[in-house]
Structures are given as structure tokens and as C-alpha cells.
Amino acid sequence: MTDQQHLLFELGTEELPPKSLYKLSQALLENISNGLTESELEFTNSHAYATPRRLAVLIENLSTAQPDKRIEKRGPAVQAAFTDDGSPSKAAAGFAKSCGVTVEQLGRLKTDKGEWLSYTQDVKGQPTQSLLPDIINKSLALLPIAKRMRWGAGETEFVRPVHWAVLLFGNEVIAAEILGVLAGTKTRGHRFHAPHHITLNHPEEYLHTLNEQGKVIVDFEQRKNIIREAAQNAAENVNGIAHIEEELLEEIAALNEWPVPITGNFAEKFLKLPDECLITTMQINQKYFPVKSQQGKLLPHFITFANIESSNPVSIQQGNERVITPRLADAEFFWNQDRKQPLAARINKLSKIVFQNKLGTLAEKTDRVTRLAEYIAKQLDADIALAKRAAQLAKTDLLTEMVGEFPSLQGIMGRYYAIEDNEPEEVAYALEEQYFPKQSGGPIPPSQTGKILSIAEKMDTLTGIFSAGLIPTGDKDPYALRRATLGILRIIIEGELPLNIIDLLDESLTLFSHKFDLNATHKLVKDFIYERLRHYNLEQGYTADEIAAVMAVLPEQPLDFQERLKAVKAFRKLPEAESLASANKRIRNILKKADTEINKSIGILVEKQELQLLASARDTEEDIKPLLAQHDYQAALARLAKLRDDVDAFFDHVLVMCEDPQLRAKRLGLLTMVSGLFLQIADISKLQS
């Protein structure tokens, strides 16, 4: 056997959950790789493979044994290791016992600092074969499986029943028991095309053997690419383009070991329905790829995939067409039924749906959001009537048949039904935009009314859930408050809205009628918002100390916070920045430790350097007033940077904590003034060199 061999592990199961297959596959690869690394086993490459019936990992050039190593331990100093009569002390005896030897067997370690008892042991590395079973089993136990199941009469648990396992190291089988089955060399092919056992002789032949003999494409990414290309080719045959969303593509790859495209058709009359209704029906219910024209209009075709090469593909096509027709007919029925009454007629029915026990019904939430939207619209000098109307209709589409069947269409159907009801276009689009941004990095609402409604809706949920005592902890955030808060901040910042987040928080909290600690809730929500703002800016590329500098003065407008942050980032690139940051640290420390009452009027000073600093500070104060009024913080900090020479001269020649208490108070007042000039923008003492 050479010093390196390829390793193959495959676990054969019943059909694995398609939505978690890829995640399980990647987690298994990571767990095994980590286990090998922790065991000091080197390898060059690793690959994860997954199909509906198997999880597999291939490790290339894995060491056949751990490296030999020498263990060296230093014990007590020799002078403390023996008593006056030369017998071992308790320290020496304890050290020897911990090493598994006698004191006489210990060595001596001499250095220029003294001499110590020592122990040296050469440890031979264990063979990889003996370590792998434990690494594999621990890796499987650590997989992110929400609910494990048992099967048969055994006690073994896994996400699905296990039927076989392969554990090959080079051309040798490691006969380990894995999840109740004995590992060997036999895998299985496609359930229908190649149901017989297939013998694997070498790990590197795994992909080729299963492909050729088993009609199984084990590489998940390869299957995805095959499905994507086949779907597009099939769509081209009907003069269209396959509408492929990554989530569905991944799910279809997780459902097929040998994907074969099938093109189906449906009646053109269904194209009168909103595209989203048809697409959602095809994707969610049937796992079909819809087909669109070059212009993006939905066509009466779909692409599905069979996990088999059928001798009669037309039969599969017809079967799928028979299934999709009643699905689309249901969507047509919902569309027609929902339009029999306007959205406004559903407003009163919101009182029958509980939003949250302490926070009341959706009708009560709608009332709060309407009032909050009106408040925001006034702050922005926006159209109050549009904002209120959008808020009143915001949750009415939840009572429609279509959204009841397809919850993912909330907001979208609100837009369609509002347009059918001849509501103002901006109101209609705001009903969908209230859920923007829908995912991390997704677009914010484009319309002003949409921005207002989205902020109001999210702020009501945030403050309400906090007031009910349901605060997110760790990774538990059932009401998605982190996402909602980030959405509020992104809309305000990226939408350039001059909103005061603290005033908005106060206004929202006053709208609740249940009993709660107002001050405590205010503080908790405020801290939560600013923590999200910190995370947002870290992702934007700002450094922790830049954010801390602005956070120290806690601007109440998120948009203003960003302007200050940009200015701080620009300031730190100036040649004066490091010196002034250091000087501000020094000023803050002096003021913190001062036991003298600070004379803010400053009064008469003595030394020319302090007189010069006072004059420069006053001139600077006047210069930056209009800049601060315009929120031109970058120019203001650039002007403040010119104080560096005078600040440096002051500290070089003036003793702040002099014996004269009156003069000391005046000098402290001068430093307070200088520090205050910077603190109108940020605390630059937080910047690290």
C-alpha cells in the first residue's frame, strides 16, 4: 500500500427529502473533512455527491496513517522536584504519574533559565483504516436533521431508512458498521433501470461506474446543469425559454437520478390568469418549469422531468397534462371568485383573524399601521391619502381564495385585485411592495407609498412583538424581526428618507393598547435597531471602529448615520487623522479622570499655544456651522483636521493638570470645547491606528 489512497464513502437510503438533500450532502462533506483534519490525516481534495437515494463523499490522496510524533512535556523545576534527602517531591511524583512512568524514568531539560524534569515519548501514528469508522459515524450523527426516524426493529436513527453502505480505502474494504448496516463494496444503481447490485473496486471509478452500469448521475451539480440545459433545449423546441428558478432547479435535481425532460401543454384559456398564479401552480404543486416567450410572456407549455427513460414518453406527457389541467382550473376558479367582491369589502373581516394574542386581530394591526403610515407620510410630505388607503387594504388579500391556496402570492394578488377594483395604481403596487425587500439584498419598494407602507408594517410588527415579550434570542427569530428591522433600515437609507427612527419608534409604541413596560421596551427595540444597523454597515464594508465612532454619538436618522459614516471613512485617510484620533483619545481620558469642575466659559488663558488653540477652535466652530447644517460632514471633518498642529503644540507645551485649580478648569474647558467640535459628527477617538 502506498502512503496515500483515495477514500469513498457512500450511504444508500430510501428517498431523501429533496429540499434538504444538497444541505445534507455539503454538511456530510464538511463533517468528514473536519474529522480527518482533526485526526491529523492529510488529503488533497474532497467531493460531495448526492442523489435521491444516496449521500457520498470522495476524498483524494488521503494519508494511510497519522504522522508519527514526539510528545514533550516539561515538569517541575529540579530544585522543587526533590526534597532535602533526595527523594521525589509530590510535584515530581504527580508529574511522573501523569506521564505513566516513574520519576527515575523522567529526563532533564536544561535551559539558560534553569533545569526541569521532562518527559519525551515517540508516538506512532494510527492507521487511517482504524480511525475511519468513528469519523464516519460521528459525521453522520452531526448532520443537520430536524427529525430522525427509526425503522425495523432496531434502534438506529437517520433521516430515512438505510439500506447499504460502501467504505472503500484504495482497493480495500473497511468492514465497519454504519447506521445498522455493514459497509462493503456493493452499491445499487437506478431503481428501475439498474436495480441490481454493482460492485465498486476503486474509489476513483465511482462516478463512471454508476453512470455506465447504474444509470445514475451522482454529481449533484452535474445533474443540475444537465436539467438546466435539457429544459432550455426542450423550451426552444416550442419557441420559448424555460423559466428556471434556482430553488426549483435544485429540488428537481434532488428528485431525479437520471433526469429525462418531458414537454407538456395546457389550454391557452388559462393564460388570461395573472402569470404569477400559473407559475406558482406549476412550480409549487407540480415541480414544472414554466415556458415564456422571448418577450417574457407566459406560453401554454411546461417542462417536467421523469426519473426514467420511458418507452412511451407520450404517456408521461399526457399524464402530466391531465394533472395540471384541474390545478389551473382551480386557480381560474379562485381568480373569478375573488373578483366578485372588492378588496375593501374584506376590511371588516380582518377582525376575525388574530395576528398575535396580545396584539389583537389583523383589523387592529391594520388600524395601527394606517396611523403609522399617516405619521410617516406627514414626515416625508408625501400623499397621506394614498398611504392611508394602502395601509387599510394591506392585509385584505390574505382573505382571498387565491392567497389561501398559495400564501406566497400575498401582496402580489393584492396588487392584481386592487387594479381590478380601480384603486390608485400606487396603492395597488404598494400592496405588493409592503413585503419588500423579500430576501437579503432584494430590491426595496420603488414607490413612495410602497416605502411608507413597508416601513409602517415592519415597525408595527417589530415594536409589537417586543412589547409582547417575544424577543429574538440566539438563532431563534420566529417573527423574522431581524429581517424586518434590516428592511426598515435599508428602505430609509437606500431610499434616502429623512426619517427619525427614534421618533418613529416612539410613535409606534404609543399605538398599542395592551399593558407593557414602555421604557424598557423602547430601550430594547432601540438597541435592536442599532445592532442591525451595525451589522448592515459591516456588510457594506465599513470597519468596526468606524461604525463605533458614529455609534458613540447615536444619530437618530439612519440616513444621517450613513453620511457621518462616509465622512469618518474619508477622514481616516487624511494625514492628520491618526494624530487627531490619538489626541481625542487623550482628551477623553483627561476629561474622564478630571476631578476639577470644568470651566466651560474658558476665560483667560496664559500660554501662547493654548491661546492659539482657543482661537483656532473658535474659527473652526464658525466655519463648520453651515457645513453641519447641510450635513456635509466630510467637509466639516476636513476643516477640523486643520486643528492638528495647534492640538499637538498644546499638548507639547501646556500642562493641563497644573496646580492652579482655576487655570486647570479653564484648560479642561478648552479641551471640552475641542472634543465637542468633533463629537458633533463622531467620536474619532474610537478610530484604531
| Tens-place pLDDT, residues 35-72 | 999 999 999 999 999 999 999 999 999 999 999 888 88
Domain endpoint, select from 283, 307, 338: 338
> Helix (H, G, I), strand (E, B), or coil: what is residue 476?
strand
Domain endpoint, select from 84, 103, 122: 122
> Does one domain contain both 117 and 266?
no
- The string of pLDDT tens digits covering residues 367-414 is 999 999 999 999 999 999 999 999 999 999 999 999 999 999 999 999
Query: Quick one: pLDDT at residue 218?
Result: 98
Domains: count for the chain: 5
> Does one domain contain both 38 and 98?
no
Query: Quick one: pLDDT at residue 77?
Result: 86
| 436 CB-side CA count, 13 A | 23
Alpha-carbon span 332 to 2, nearest angstrom: 67
Q: Looking at the predicted structure, is the pLDDT value of residue 577 above 90?
A: yes
> Does one domain contain both 580 and 490?
no
- The string of pLDDT tens digits covering residues 111-149 is 888 888 888 888 888 999 999 999 999 999 999 998 999
Instruction: End-to-end CA distance of the chain: give it in Å, rounded.
Output: 55
> Does one domain contain both 383 and 443?
yes
Question: Which pLDDT band, with edges at 50, 70 and 90, does 337 fall under?
Answer: very high
Query: What domain range is 83 assigned to?
Result: 75-122
> Does one domain contain both 393 and 414?
yes
Please indicate, yes or no, if residue 15 is contained in any of the structural domains. Answer: yes
Question: Which residue blocks in 643-687 are alpha helix, DSSP H?
Answer: 644-653, 661-679
- The string of pLDDT tens digits covering residues 75-106 is 888 888 888 788 888 888 899 898 888 888 88
The DSSP result for 227-265, as a single string, is HHHHHHHHHHTTT-EE---HHHHHHHHTT-SS-EEEEEE
Phi, psi of 608 (to 5 degrees): -65, -30
Please indicate, yes or no, if residue 548 is contained in any of the structural domains. Answer: no
> Does one domain contain both 188 and 42?
yes
Residue closest to 120 by CA, chosen among 107, 110, 104? 107
> Does one domain contain both 21 and 97?
no
Question: Which pLDDT band, with edges at 50, 70 and 90, does 603 fall under?
Answer: low
Please indicate, yes or no, if residue 405 is contained in any of the structural domains. Answer: yes
Residue type, 298: L
Question: Which pLDDT band, with edges at 50, 70 and 90, does 597 fall under?
Answer: low
Q: Do residues 315 and 283 touch, judged by C-beta distance below 8 A?
A: no
> Helix (H, G, I), strand (E, B), or coil: what is residue 432?
helix
Q: Looking at the predicted structure, is the pLDDT value of residue 456 above 80?
A: yes
> Does one domain contain both 61 and 86?
no
Query: Quick one: pLDDT at residue 113?
Result: 81
Q: What is the pTM of this model?
A: 0.84
> Does one domain contain both 147 and 281?
no
Alpha-carbon span 180 to 252, nearest angstrom: 30
What CATH number corresponds to the domain at position 660?
1.10.730
Please indicate, yes or no, if residue 349 is contained in any of the structural domains. Answer: no
| 571 CB-side CA count, 13 A | 37
Q: What is the 3-state secondary structure (H, E, C) of 93-138?
A: HHHHHHHCCCHHHCEEEEECCEEEEEEEEEECCCEHHHHHHHHHHH
| 387 CB-side CA count, 13 A | 26
Q: Do residues 267 and 284 touch, judged by C-beta distance below 8 A?
A: no
Please indicate, yes or no, if residue 264 is contained in any of the structural domains. Answer: yes
| 427 sits in which H/E element | helix 425-433
Query: Quick one: pLDDT at residue 103?
Result: 84
Q: Do residues 540 and 486 touch, judged by C-beta distance below 8 A?
A: no
> Does one domain contain both 534 and 581?
no
Q: Do residues 21 and 52 touch, judged by C-beta distance below 8 A?
A: yes
Average pLDDT, the chain: 94
Domain endpoint, select from 179, 214, 249: 214
| 172 sits in which H/E element | strand 172-173
What CATH number corresponds to the domain at position 372?
1.10.3210
What CATH number corresponds to the domain at position 200?
3.30.70.260
> Helix (H, G, I), strand (E, B), or coil: what is residue 168?
strand
Query: Quick one: pLDDT at residue 659?
Result: 83
Please indicate, yes or no, if residue 554 is contained in any of the structural domains. Answer: no
Phi, psi of 535 (to 5 degrees): -60, -40
Residue type, 565: L
- The string of pLDDT tens digits covering residues 501-552 is 999 999 999 999 999 999 999 999 999 999 999 999 999 999 999 999 999 9
Instruction: Return the C-alpha torsion angle 609, 612, 618, 623, nearest 10.
Output: -120
Query: Quick one: pLDDT at residue 601?
Result: 64
Query: Quick one: pLDDT at residue 474?
Result: 83
> Does one domain contain both 62 and 86?
no
Please indicate, yes or no, if residue 228 is contained in any of the structural domains. Answer: no
Please indicate, yes or no, if residue 310 is contained in any of the structural domains. Answer: yes
Query: Quick one: pLDDT at residue 69?
Result: 85
> Does one domain contain both 679 and 648?
yes
Alpha-carbon span 442 to 429, nearest angstrom: 17
> Helix (H, G, I), strand (E, B), or coil: what is residue 88?
strand
The DSSP result for 286-337, as a single string, is H-PEEEE-TTS-EEEEEEEEESS--S-HHHHHHHHHHHHHHHHHHHHHHHHH
Alpha-carbon span 462 to 475, nearest angstrom: 17
